[in-house]
Amino acid sequence: MQNNNYGVESILDINSSNIWGLDAKDVLELWKNDMKEEDFEGSEEKALNVLRLAFEVSHFDDENEREAARYTGGDYVILPHWNNKKGAIAIRKREIKRITDLSYENVKHISATTLLELIDRNFGGGWDSISLAIKDIIESAFDISTTTLPATRIHAKGGTLERKIADGYEVLEIQKGTWIEAIFAKKKDLQEKLRFVPEPEYDEDGNRRIIEDDNDEDDDADEMGDDANDDANDDTFYGSYTPEADVKDDELLDE
């Protein structure tokens, strides 16, 4: 069964990239299907670890009316519980409320309109007010360009604003005195080969990655440094050769 746009047919297919493309109802359907499998109990915690990257996950006693009331009738979706001792599971998609909530995984799953709304909420400072790290995340999924023009010229016929909108860009206009900064954003094709992006903090199973030690590179650099020192201390003819030797030879020839 394929019930979404990301080819996820089992709850065990979810990873740190595609989980942001699913909503809570997608997860519920996958979860119910996989519960029919005998070995699902052993995979439940692994699936929950990945879910926690994009969803709030809460265990609760569904037989306790007061506790259950917190998760029913709202925007939570209740997953059937496999182990009665753990209780039921309530999940809710994490909202991207601030520009600092963006990551290399979730930025691919928002629209240009949503992105510009997040930028607009960033104290109205415009593109230059965004940190380089967040800019890099944004530009991994969107084409971004900006222009700042007098308010009287920003909407000139045939100008940058008109051309960008015709090319499919969304635009955010930020007032800066008598000038306006226009920020243009257009979603990149997900199939497009992007420039190098650092590995995400979590692997596809929701586990934190272990960063390899760079000491080996440092050791190589130290060895190269030792070789360079050896060359400098090389007491051979060429190592001790100086330009003055040529000068003395020339003077002798003149005599």
* DSSP class per residue in the chain: ---STT---SGGG--TTGGGG--HHHHHHHHHHHTTSTTHHHHHHHHHHHHHHHEEEEEE-TT-HHHHHTTSSSS-EEEPPSSTTT-EEEEEEPP--SGGG--TTGGGGS-HHHHHHHHHTTTT--GGGS-HHHHHHHHTTEEEEEEEEETTTTT-TTSHHHHHHHTT-EEEEEEETTEEEEEEEEEPPTTS-PPP-PPPSB-TTSPBPPPPP-HHHHHHHHHHHHHHHHHHT--SHHHH--THHHHHHHHHHH-
Give 120-144 pLDDT, tens digit per residue.
988 778 899 999 999 999 999 999 9
pLDDT greater than 80 at residue 66: yes
Question: What is the reported pLDDT for 173?
Answer: 95
Q: For 49-64, what is the mean pLDDT?
A: 90
What strands lie across the sheet with 142-150, from one edge to the other? 142-150, 179-187, 170-176
pLDDT greater than 70 at residue 247: no
Cα distance from N-terminal residue to C-terminal residue, the chain: 99
Q: What are phi and psi of 244, to 5 degrees?
A: -60, -25
pLDDT greater than 80 at residue 40: no
Question: What is the reported pLDDT for 99?
Answer: 94
135 and 116 in contact (C-beta within 8 Å)?
no
Question: What is the reported pLDDT for 248?
Answer: 44
Q: Which two tokens stand for residue 173?
A: 């206009």
pLDDT greater than 50 at residue 246: no
225 and 217 in contact (C-beta within 8 Å)?
no
Rounded distance between C-alpha atoms, residue 9 and residue 4, angstroms: 8
Question: What is the reported pLDDT for 90?
Answer: 92
Q: Which two tokens stand for residue 186?
A: 């257009």
pLDDT greater than 60 at residue 92: yes
